[in-house]
């Protein structure tokens, strides 16, 4: 499958593009700045220039699936979080529907589908944006998966994870960006993950087995 990566220049995105290039799938890196194109094209990776705050329909031509990884970042204004994490994500979902691209993986955030009362006060706007985008995806009629990783680290991945519709033990746990990318690659054409919202943390189960056992 040819997979459009929205947010390819981010910390998970760069890892995902690299892993997809080494898999049976083909990445298409979507970036919003011209000076970001070269880093991918120099590696022989197809690249498309598109900005979530503008028209993005052209980016969805001739692709089979989408992974949405774009995010406003922890230190951006609340208004920008709404623009990227909510409105940008909804725009991408609608563009996929319009283009007939049926496979859509959304990288959301752990707890985005849980009781808003449990969201930290300082992050209410972030979780609200993620939650609204996720709800839009659930109702869009696509073969979606919403992946909700916990606290992200830059440690080297070990391809051992816990993946479940609800993980109860969250205390002091995290997940490497490497392993988030590995899980995405594994679930792209795994039909058992369609129409699922899945928590993701570091664990004891190999990625392939963790994805395969979702039902």
Task: Tell me which residues are annotated as active site.
Answer: 126
Which DSSP helix (H) or strand (E) runs through 96?
helix 89-99
Radius of gyration of the chain (CA): 16
Q: Is the separation of the CB atoms in 17 and 29 below 8 Å?
A: yes
The 3-state DSSP class for residue 160 equals strand
Q: Does residue 111 come out as left (phi exceeding 0), alpha (psi in the -120 to 50 range) or beta?
A: left
CB 123 within 8 Å of CB 71: no
The answer to whether 80 and 129 are in contact (CB under 8 A) is: no
Ramachandran quadrant class, 106 (left: phi over 0; alpha: psi -120 to 50; beta: rest): beta
Q: In 10 A of CB 126, how many CB atoms?
A: 23
Q: Are strands 143-149 and 103-107 parallel, antiparallel or unpaired?
A: parallel
Q: How far is the CA of 59 from the CAs of 46, 56, 98, 112, in angstroms?
A: 11, 6, 12, 27
Q: Under DSSP, is residue 199 helix (H, G, I), strand (E, B) or coil?
A: strand
């Amino acid at each position: 499958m040819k997979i459009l990566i929205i947010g390819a220049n981010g910390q998970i995105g760069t890892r995902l593009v690299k892993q997809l290039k080494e898999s049976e799938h083909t990445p298409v890196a979507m970036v919003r700045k011209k000076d970001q194109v070269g880093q991918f094209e120099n590696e022989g990776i197809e690249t498309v220039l598109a900005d979530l705050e503008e028209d993005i329909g052209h980016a969805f031509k001739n692709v089979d699936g989408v992974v949405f990884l774009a995010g406003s970042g922890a230190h951006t204004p609340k208004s920008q979080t709404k623009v990227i994490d909510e409105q940008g994500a909804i725009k991408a979902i609608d563009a996929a529907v319009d283009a007939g691209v049926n496979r859509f993986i959304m990288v959301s955030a752990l707890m985005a589908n849980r009781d808003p009362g449990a969201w930290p006060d300082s992050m209410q706007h972030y979780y609200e944006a993620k939650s609204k985008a996720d709800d839009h995806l659930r109702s869009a009629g696509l073969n979606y998966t919403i992946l909700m990783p916990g606290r992200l680290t830059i440690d080297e991945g070990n391809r051992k994870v816990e993946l479940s519709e609800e993980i109860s033990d969250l205390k002091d746990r995290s997940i490497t960006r490497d392993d988030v990318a590995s899980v995405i690659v594994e679930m792209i054409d795994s039909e058992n993950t369609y129409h699922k919202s899945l928590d993701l943390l570091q664990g004891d189960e190999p990625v392939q087995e963790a994805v395969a056992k979702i039902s």
